[in-house]
Structure 1
Amino acid sequence: MKLTGPYWRGALAVALVAALLVVQPPHSPAQAAGTDYRDTVLADNPVAYWRFGEASGSAAVDTAGSLDGIYENAPSLSQPGLVIDSDSAVRFGGATDLVHIPDSPLINQGTRTQRTIEVWFQVDDASDRQVIVEEGGGSRGLNIYVEGGQLFFGGWNLADDLTADTPWGGTFFSAAVSSGVTHHAVLVLDQLSATLTGYLDGAEAGAGAAGTLHGHGADTGIGAMNNSSRFPDGSAGGDGHYFVGVIDEVAFYNSVLSPSDVADHYAAGIAPAVEPAVEFVAPNDGAIVSGTVNVEVAASDPQDAAGALTVDISTDAGATFAPAAFNPGADTHSINWDTTLDADGPSTLVARVLDTDGNTTTANIAVSVSNNPGSDEYADMVLADGPVVYYRLGEVGGTTASDELDAVDSSYIGGPALGQTGLVIGADTSVDFDGINDFVAVPDSNLINKGQFAQRSVEAWFNVRSSAARQVIYEEGAGTRGLSIYVEAGQLYAGAWNLSGQVWGPIFLNTPVSAAATHHVVAVLDTGSFELFLDGVSVAVDGGAGMLFNHTGDTGIAAMNDAARFHDGKLSGNGLYFDGTIDEVAIYNTPLSTATISAHHTAGLLAAPQLPSVTFIAPTASDTVSGTVPVEVTASDPQDSPSD
């Protein structure tokens, strides 16, 4: 053979065994003895599959068919395999070693609209250009190679083969790759999607344009360029660009491996992580706790007994940890937590377990400390006025927005921040929505959107970061029938409409509203009228309302859930997400009176006035005075002593 490229010192082997960027040896055969990886590959019907498991000889046996390759110049066989399997691999020395694959209609002599090449490799040094696998030549072909610390994927059909999608390429893209680490590489050609896609270690690494790959009689090589190939800097001829390292498990498919197929192959080939596990036994995620609490966790490990594990527990979100005692009878670990030493409100508990091999795992839950719960006057007042659903939004964990009446529990979508400081007086918390994708999805209910209502009141507390953009506080129904409350352009809007059957509306009321301030809003539909209240006061009313009929469009808190109507028309889809805090959402199938709404607003105020009082003792209001008169008063204050 004529050598046209430099000799490279590296070692071929494919499969990332850890995300740690350290040099790792291949698996030893003793790590596993099975055929799970082989079976995974064969289940996807490769047209050729070289496992490189030979202990001697010059034939690289095709496990899927009869296209045996030829070991040239004696690469080192029977090396530790790169997948978790008892099969071995091949080390290439970088001088003249390669595997020559004979011409075949299954590979290089046929026209292909789909092709997948899969390989595991471990390169000693990824600095120089070294070919892992290639087929074709300068005009048509595919290749996978390393150079400059990158793994390159390439494809091209530069001849005009009288099809609409030729010529195309060369298409080349790359991703960073580590020397001395096992990696898994997959190159997928799909003419139907006109793409060439590369995967590294189970995840997409890049993609580019592609088309049909027509017959390409130039040779196919593994571990080197066999006769010719193409690179971003042009075509190259002859043998060369020899690989230095380990290569294993090379498969060719005349079909497309999907992203999930690639991920499954990668997962089947790597060694599973052996880590301990830990979960909380008590308290429950989202619990309200007080006094002294037993915090208990269950820790386990595939190799160590529970008593041999080191377990620590934090009650301050991981800032400090305390060692947990082992409970032999229950196989659990626990600490006693005096919650009276912590402030009321949300708290994150973290459990950390360490096994004897140095592997560690953590778990966490959210709870709420409530030793001084304060007044529940606001919630008691709301419940006394008969809501059909009432979302206090007081959860500190989980994905359920609980209805206080246990009628229509709803779901937090997008991961809003639970356990925030409440907007009304008391220990209950609120929810902060990010304005991007957070909201509460309220399921269909005969109590809300699936019934026929002549009366409806919707009540909520809110604090919006900016009231410039349109942001939904609450909406039910869709474009034909429904209600909506939202902010936009410094205004608070409330809308109601029934545009089918007994048609009325749409009615939209609005009033100025300030951002970065807590507000109380109530929209009241009563027979013949629709009224908007802000901070306990009626601000707008319209007498043109009527019956609100069945409106099965979805209901949303903090976003438009599927569809709604606004003062400038109907919109569809999810969106108009609220950016700020919402609290204490109640829905009534009765009209709240002006007096009731004012009372709710007063009861909920966090900053209720705490004014001092003063009374005259002397002189009295009816006294006639002259000369020097002592004027005496008595003064008091809910917080200060008289001397202050």
Structure 2
Amino acid sequence: SKDQAIRVPDSPELNTGGTWPKAQKSWEFWIKAESLATDGPQVLWEQGGVTRGVNIYIQRSGDNAEGESTLYMMAWNRAQTFFGGALNQVGDEGITAVSTTIKENATYHMAFVMNGDTEGGTEGTLTGYLNGRQFGQVSGVSQLWAHADDSAFGNLWTASVTHEGNQAGSGGQGFTGVIDDAALYNLALTEEQVIAHFEDGFAGAPNKIEITTQPQDTSADENETATFTVDFNGMPVVDVKWMVNGKEVATDSVLTSSSVTITATADNNGAKIKAELTNKAGSVTTAEATLTTIIDNSAPEITSISAYAGTLNTITIVFNEPLDTGSASNAANYKVDGLEVTSAALGEDGQTVTLSTIQQTAGNYSVTVSGVKDLQANAFSGSSTVSSVVDYAQEIISDDPIIYWKLAETEGNVATDTMGLRNGNYTGAPTLNADSLVPASKDGAVQFNSDNADVIKIGDNALMNTGTFKQKTLEFWFKADSLPKAEADVPYQKKMVLWEQGGGWKGLRFYLNATDESDSPSKADLYFMANSHIGGGTTSDSSTWTAPPLDLRWGGSTDERGPDQSHYGYEGSVPLFVKGEIEVGKVYHVVGIIDGDSEGLNGKLLLYINGKLADEIGGVGQMYSHGNDAGIGGINAGTIFHDEIADGTLLTDNYFFNGAIDEVAQYNLTLSADQVAGHYEVGNTATTPTNETPAISVARNADGTITINFEGTLQSAPTVNGPWSDVDAPSPLTIPADAAETFGRAVRK
């Protein structure tokens, strides 16, 4: 259940207070998982938080068969003497964890032992045991320091970490099943102790093994899998050895059931499978089961084909079964009329081939495939017609954004992130499905009205703003329906915020700054500004401020109110920004780039407007964690500008935008000048083919001749698969009765 847990408050012997650090700890309990279908984590036991802690949990992976999942045992200390990965870990880099496969409705005794380095180094180990057997050990372990944030069985409480990164919040990640006889130690259990605890869990003498279900004969298609299972009684643990034609192929140590999965091939058709089961009371052998392989003699078939022009120039062909890598990735096996195929790549699924070609135009192409084989050497030969289109979304996604808000919603209050990382929430009353700003997209935009306080609010995310970033690229399209009016003799001008993330100390933002004093301003300056002024504090005592040192801080504001309003540390700071002029009522494609420096201040900010570099400036370091959420169309929680601090008590105007915003993307890399120009060019390109499929008709005349009426260009070939060549004749064309047999088609060029 996601809502049931045993929650254990902080305790000196368990996790915080008392004498720390501790080099030795052990966790031991029994489990039976009753549902393993959930893709997300199921917490068995967790203590501590994202800086220091322990998490024992279950999570399915792509390698797990149905009814299976992976048990993880993980510990980390990401302060003091580090082990177990870095703060705000992305993926499983550097983690200290052991893992093994478990099965649904099977009973397990598990133990996790930390035998750390008592000298404070990293020579210790973490070891995992399942049913008295060691299944994994990882080194590089130091000591575990005090780690508050409470503890819990069966549910996430406060925060934790998995092999995929930080897990924030309380509740959720619930375990469905039984947990029994849990014991936690401030010592390292030995292997002998773990085995004894497991075997002592079964009272009395060992029971002889009794097979209750024998393996069954099984049939499977060639290269598909077949599973053989044996169920039995017999305590304690039973060692299972699976044999195929008398040769050992797998082993298992289980209590009541064991399975083996075999890939069916022509070579193992008719194979005999059995299992030998052994415990302390003796051994038994199952009956033999037979594997029957259903041989594949059919050639693969094309199930779909698509093509993208623009800067992608790819053709994607999906087949109905896995392919032979050599033939599928041989570019010579593919012909496209009017295009050179420069490469062919087989995808990870083994069934999808992506062709790269010279420049495509939106239109129809004939694709001929020959000699592409499946895994049984059955070859496909044939032709298919594909319609190549310009697809702006595919252009963006191909360049690996971390977030991509298309802003194409027609209803609701959620701004969906196409990449699945962080959705936003529409607040106020923005108009959805407004006219798209991108000709190659045409799926709508969002219209913001400053009178309604319209803004898209986005929460923090480790990949967006609460990590450390050397490189960032931010990209979007906008059109301002009105602009802020400039005023004379004021300390700072009115603004409109397009995008901001972070807060007063660290962050980045795009905004329009008033320059026109007329009643209906026609122009303004577009600013892209960033700062990573780490430190600062609530007092003027710089010795209390956080690292890094002053020489790695960059950016700021000229607003002199800051030091008197809890923004100490900006005295003498220099704002870093790039800017360009824009006009009301015009559509702009904007790209801001942080090309930073992780060791100094030799990086740059760059601003591109409509595909061209508008401005750049140096003096940039890297972006450190900049929480405080993010906003599109207005300030969400606080920010600063080149001349004004709008954060904390100084936030008096959210500077809402009045106009449309479309196709917002963020990358943790720097787009090249060619990529930026390509996105702008493709965004302004027609999306669909201008040519419809040409018509062709054939009529047999009384004198035996044949008349062909066609649109476009007529082509002929000796076979249906080509090669095709143009026929130099207009429509209609009459062919003599004695002409050689040939195949014909009409194409548009």
Larger radius of gyration: 1
Q: TM-score, normalised by structure 2?
A: 0.31
More relative contact order, 1 or 2 (CA 8 Å, 6+ apart): 1
